[in-house]
Amino acid sequence: MEHSEQIKERLLARQKELEESLSRQNENALSSGDADVQDEIDRVTTSSAKALSLSVGTREADSLAHVRSALARLEAGQYGRCVVCGKEIEPARLRAVPETPYCLEHADEEHRRGDSLGGPDNQPLPD
C-alpha cells in the first residue's frame, strides 16, 4: 500500500478539487437566473441547466463526503480496511479509488444498493 502521507496528499487534493467544483456548480445554478429568460424554450433550457448543475453538485457532494470519510479513517488508523467486514481492501482497488470504504465483495453489494463507490463508474484520483 502507498505510504499514508501520499494517500493523504491524494485525498486532500481530491477534496480541494471537489470543493472548488461544488462552489462553481452552486454559482452556476444561482447565476442562471430567470430574469433574462425571454420565451418558453429559454425557460426550459434554463431549468434543465439548473437541474443538471444541481445533479452534478449532489454527486460531487456525495464524493466529497466519501473523501472526508477516507481522511478520517486514515487519521484513525483504519484506512485500507473494509468498513463492513474488516478485511484488507485490495491494494489495486485503493490505488484506483482511494476513498473507497469497501473491499471488492462489499463494493459490489453496495453498488447494487446504489452507493457510488461500488462499481466501475468510479473516477480514480490523479497521482
Give the torsion sign (CA, 12, 18, 21, 25). Answer: negative
- pTM for this predicted structure: 0.69
d(CA 97, CA 62): 14
CATH-assigned architecture of domain 4-32+39-113: Up-down Bundle (1.20)
Question: Taking the domains of the chain in order of start, what are their residue ranges?
Answer: 4-32+39-113
Give me the pLDDT at residue 113, please: 82
**Splitting the chain (127 residues) into consecutive groups of 10 residues, what average pLDDT does each group show?**
84 95 78 61 67 68 94 96 95 93 91 61 47
Give me the pLDDT at residue 41, please: 74
Beta carbons of 34 and 50 less than 8 angstroms apart: no
Give me the pLDDT at residue 65, please: 94
Give me the pLDDT at residue 121, please: 42
